[in-house]
Amino acid sequence: MSVERPILFSGPMVRAILAGQKTQTRRIVNMRGVDYVGPAGGEDDPNNWGWADQYGDWHVIGRGYPLPGRINQGDTWSMPCPLGEPGDRLWVKETWRTLAAFDRMPPRLIPPGTPIHYEADGPQPEGFGRARPSIFMRRWMSRIARDVTAVRVERLQGISDEDARAEGIDDIGEGAGLAKIRFQNLWNAINGKRAPWEANPWVRAISFPRLAP
């Protein structure tokens, strides 16, 4: 059964989706207490005690995970994607405003159909109030919903130029490798404190269809 889940995007990424440029997003995998997972080298890599496959299954070949019910060598631990699987739907949360008359009203009480202005669209029209963080957007306020077409698990630095472009990076007419460099800079601007590019964290690459401009 298809499930709908919310996902937060910044203004530039919303504009990239609306322009038909962004069809992927990468989100950090929550390791939930796992102290270390080695590089993706498979069972033959002597320095590797665990690795992830493209479906999000974590294969343990060394010591167990430091979790209740400890997972043993040879076990497989599946981590479902919290943002859904292929066939599910994502609806986008973005920074928004509504009429100034509703500024003191909690989002859950704002009547459906009330005019909404999206910050990604530029200056607010007359009569609209304060900006509201994307986290408080309600489902009826969202203007973008996309079906999940693929989910894979990989190291952040494994992104290709092609995938960097699918993340909304524009490097038209530039040399090879620039899209990946620009994505690296974008990643650090957003996630640098939590999981910088240099840390090469595990991420889920989530794909969705292009939105026609």
Instruction: Please identify which residue in the block is written with the tokens 């939105």.
Output: 211
H or E element in which residue 72 lies:
none
Interior CA angle at 192 toward 187 and 194, to 5°? 115
C-alpha span between 115 and 192 (Å, rounded): 35
> In a structure prediction context, what are the per-residue pLDDT tens digits for the chain, which is 213 residues long?
789 999 999 999 999 999 999 999 999 987 654 444 444 444 444 444 455 565 556 555 444 333 334 444 445 556 667 888 889 999 999 999 999 999 999 999 999 999 999 999 999 999 999 999 999 999 999 999 999 999 888 889 999 999 999 999 987 666 667 899 999 999 999 999 999 999 988 888 999 999 876
C-alpha span between 4 and 41 (Å, rounded): 34
The pLDDT value recorded for residue 76 is 55
Q: Is the dihedral of CA 116, 122, 125, 131 positive or negative?
A: positive
**Hey, what's the torsion of the CAs at 191, 183, 189, 38, to 10 degrees?**
30
The pLDDT value recorded for residue 42 is 43
H or E element in which residue 129 lies:
none
Span 99-129, pLDDT tens digits? 999 999 999 999 999 999 999 999 999 999 9
C-alpha span between 120 and 124 (Å, rounded): 10
What contacts 114, CB < 8 A, 6 or more positions away?
A: 98, 99, 102
DSSP 8-state symbol, 86 = T
The count of other CB atoms within 10 Å of the CB of residue 173 is: 6
The pLDDT value recorded for residue 81 is 78
Radius of gyration of the chain measured on its C-alpha atoms: 20
C-alpha span between 207 and 124 (Å, rounded): 31
The pLDDT value recorded for residue 153 is 80
The pLDDT value recorded for residue 141 is 98
pTM recorded for the entire structure: 0.80
The pLDDT value recorded for residue 211 is 82
